[in-house]
A and B are shown apart, each in its own frame.
Chain A
Amino acid sequence: MLRLEDVHTYYGNIHALRGVSLEVEEGEIVCLIGANGAGKSTTLMTISGVLRPARGRVLFGDEEIQEVRPDAIVARGICQVPEGRRIFPRLTVRENLEMGAFLRHDHRAVEAGLERVFTLFPVLRERVSQLGGTLSGGEQQMLAIARALMASPRLLLLDEPSLGLAPLMVQQIYAIIREINAAGTTIFLVEQNAHMALRVARRGYVMETGQVVLADRAPALLENEMVRKVYLGEV
């Protein structure tokens, strides 16, 4: 469904991605783990079109999308939940969700989408007319994911969904990620919380200084000695 082939991306002079290749198949949950500054978020930004790669190809289905504008990529069915949630703090929960459906003009489909995310996140229904900025961190993360779902993407990109959340909330968020995947949305997620991500994902990639250094099925990565040492903090 999604394939990156030898992608190089620069931030000004910084060579952030040094030839990344990876693949996400339809229906999978795939995770990308790695330390701070390894290039995980850059990878997501390159996929969603905010950054343009200097070299290499990004394929969605059979089409190259590395030159496509970010809004057109959303229209094709890739939606990103950015790092740090970035909900609209001064819009209500409902308005936030409606912004997610910005590109959809079928009113009834949008209403159905609202119902769907309210079923997934009942707490958002309770908070529907509250301003986004007044939600707790966990609720904001739920809102961010729900907002992305409103675009009814085929591929959902999640950047650090567990960032800054209490352990119990992390469990809850990951349970919902599983549920979204079971309902048919492919998920590619980036995490520092390697343990949680690898337990939910089917496959995983490990990134270091702009390159993929390891790729395997998630359970195998959980057993991998290097991963255990560096990312799971075991000795």
Chain B
Amino acid sequence: MSRALRPLAYGVWAALLALPLMGPLRAALLGGVVLVMTLAFLGARALSRRPLGSALRQQAAGLGRAIRQQAAAIPRPLLAGLVGAGLLLFPHVASRYHIDVATLVGIYVVLALGLNVVVGLAGLLDLGYVAFYAVGAYAFAILGTRAEVSFWAALPIGAILAAIFGILLGIPVLRLRGDYLAIVTLGFGEMIRITLNNWDAFTNGPNGILNIPRPSVLGFALRDPMYHYYLILGLGLFTVWVIGRLNNSWVGRAWIAMREDELAAEAMGINVMRMKLLAFAMGATWAGFAGVFFASKQTFISPESFTFFESVIILSMVVFGGMGSIPGVILGAAILVILPEVMREFAFYRMLLFGGAMVLMMVLRPQGLLPNPRRKVELHPGEERLGAAA
């Protein structure tokens, strides 16, 4: 296909894609927008190849470097203090809606960091991660409403139960890899959801469980969203701390080796089976914590909250942010929670734009927003070799 025709082709493609969804008029409009945007993009790229453009680009790169140097010059404790103060003061200046969104970000940060252990570090593709979230949430929903177990007692119980389910999933898939593993984990996630949906006597089926107790301190229920924000902030920081430590421990090393080459890892004396189970259990633990918190915050849960789509979103956060990179995964979770909220004014087109943004992102920056250095090499091997030769 000729280069000049490409924008036109993209426009027609977008219009055809949107036709059944939007009707001919709006689809044509969308096609037009895509055509103009493609033209603009190609024009900008052509410009950037010319001397003037490349000079501009170098300036921009120089500016970026200068900013990074400036940022590095700020002492780390000061930076941490500023970020910490911002996070602590946030609920006092924000509206209730913003606090709710921030709390949701917190939940997904914990979930995404947990899944990152399984997918990013150990390299095991898990498409049923939401099952462990459901285990944590239902553990507290049932224990809290029927046995009056408190939120604080339920946190470790939910986490341990989720870890046990992680091992239950892990045992049958120990010898599976890649696609096969993904399909089994997908099935596992659905199994848990369908069980929750149909086991009326135990889970109250599709009606869900009502009146789950709020977290409480010394008998006072914490109702204000601000408290939920602080709770998830604490849980999130704890998650970051533990996973950061894990990352640099011998366990993290073993996972990385396993992800790189399972047979070689085995030849080094790594017990691959045990390490895989540990990865599933460690990943599930965080989903369990998040589930208990979620149930307590909502006071109502039903199987609808734990669909396959949730697993996909959490996985997207990990990939979007940068597999195996803690700051990346946090950023990925934040963006994928906030983006659909910001796009609310587009109402009908919201999810379409959201999907479009993700496609664009993966095409332009497949390694994620803040990639783990090792991942970068995988996706751009040519550059690394150049770098090594220089």
A48 part of interface (Cβ distance < 8 Å): yes
Interface 9-mer from B21-29, B111-119, B265-273? B265-273
The B interface is mostly helix, strand or loop, or mixed, namely helix
Known: A102-B250, A147-B268, A148-B267. A131 touches B260 (CB 8 A): no
Q: Which of B254, B266, B269 contacts A75 (CB 8 A)?
A: B269
- Asked if A178 is at the interface of the complex by the 8 Å CB criterion, the answer is no
Q: Does A19 contact B (CB under 8 A)?
A: no
- Report chain B residues within 8 Å CB of A48: 267
A163 at the interface (CB under 8 A from B): no
Q: In the complex, are the beta carbons of A99 and B253 less than 8 A apart?
A: yes
Pairwise interchain contact B267-A134, C-beta atoms closer than 8 A: no
In chain B between 263 and 301, which residues have their CB closer than 8 angstroms to a CB of chain A?
A: 263-272
Contact partners of A131 in chain B: CB under 8 A: 377, 384, 388
Contact B269 A71 (CB under 8 A): yes
Known: A102-B253, A131-B388, A134-B388. A74 touches B269 (CB 8 A): yes
Can you name the residue of chain A whose Cβ is closest to the Cβ of B378? A90
Q: Does A100 contact B (CB under 8 A)?
A: yes
Which partner residue on chain B sits nearest A92 by CB separation? Answer: B374
Q: In the complex, A90→B379 CA distance in Å? A: 11
- Once the chains bind, are A151 and B256 in contact (CB under 8 Å)? no
Whether B3 sits at the interface, judged by CB under 8 Å, is no
Is B388's CB under 8 angstroms from A100's CB?
Answer: no
Residues 69-110 of A, flagged 1 when their CB comes within 8 A of B and 0 if not, give 111001100011110001111110001001110110000000
Q: Known interface pairs A102-B254, A134-B384, A134-B388. Does A91 touch B268 (Cβ–Cβ under 8 Å)?
A: no
**Residues of A contacting B385 with CB < 8 Å?**
134
B14 CB–A CB distance under 8 Å = no
Establish whether residues A80 and B267, one from each chain, have CB atoms under 8 Å apart when the complex forms.
yes
Number of residues from B at the complex interface, CB < 8 A: 24
Chain B residues lying within 8 Å of A91, measured Cβ to Cβ, are: 256-257, 260, 374
Contacting A90 at CB < 8 Å: which of B253, B377, B388?
Answer: B377
CB distance from A88 to the nearest CB of B (A): 4
Given A134-B384, A134-B388, A71:B264 Cβ within 8 A? no
Cα–Cα distance between A148 and B265 once the two chains are bound (Å) = 11
Q: Smallest CB–CB gap between A115 and chain B, Å? A: 20
Docked-complex contact A90 and B374, CB < 8 angstroms: yes
Interface residues of B in 237-274 (CB under 8 A from A): 250, 253-254, 256-257, 260-261, 263-272
A87 in complex: contacting residue of B253, B264, B388, CB < 8 Å = B264
Cβ contacts under 8 Å, A87 to chain B:
261, 264
- Chain B: CB-nearest residue to A144: B264
Of the A-B pairs whose beta carbons lie under 8 Å apart in the complex, a sample of 6, sorted by A's number, is A50-B266, A70-B269, A71-B271, A80-B267, A88-B256, A90-B377
